[in-house]
Structure 1
């Protein structure tokens, strides 16, 4: 897999993430889950937000490493699993992309109800629910991967440009 496959960027703000997670929670209200299993690392924050919205206190993790650097995906490594088949559990990740991680987790937890906040076409059939579909060629920039930086006022930028001329 190559970073050349990503032609666009979809930037998710904290506010957008909260709105999308709350929308996802509306599809889950009324279900009686034993707890949540977050797929680390991307699923940790959505799982925490979902736990808050649904009043769930029991959160476990499945730790799978797949993205080896910023945009390159490699082989999967299960760092931590769970000792059940997922029956009655809500499985949460931030995104289903190619489906590689989703397939591995589905094999481990075939009875879990699997949701992601965002889904791409290749992985979408592997999850039971999601809120926003994103094109396969789009790289999603999550708020926990970005920093806040000072942006100089336009008037100051123009002064610098004029002095450089």
Structure 2
């Protein structure tokens, strides 16, 4: 019999075009990369030039340092493999994804994470923590990114110690080659 985690495993995999964009954000000097919750491995398949760690079970992962962590963690408990999770680390609702994000921030200076917008919009404490760590950019993903999701998503690029202004990007505009500075984007016709 399949677990609830296995039933949902295919539903929220990182789309290939989004995965390519996320990989493009990895700093040039990175050699070791962790994908803590690889699912079916969409991101991992694009990381051939790196020394990649992609555990089948995040909760069995030995904590260490990586140059970059790239991830699309499960947003909710029902999508998470918790077979080996200590009881004190099992969180309900979207707290599971936040927990994985904040734990990973302790293991690297560079995080690229596909997360729900709620990560920054529903908690001043989370937003301040991300900004304090170094919130380099936010890339808004279209609502249609995940077929069955009702949650709006964003790619969060974190660089420890980054103090400049956070840049805001829109994936569909980046994908079409448009920039906010292009006049036709703001024209009335």
TM-score by length of 1: 0.46
Query: Which structure has more strand as a fraction of its residues?
Result: 1
Q: Which has the higher contact order (CA 8 A, sep 6+)?
A: 1
Asked which structure has the greater CA Rg, the reply is 1
TM-score by length of 2: 0.41
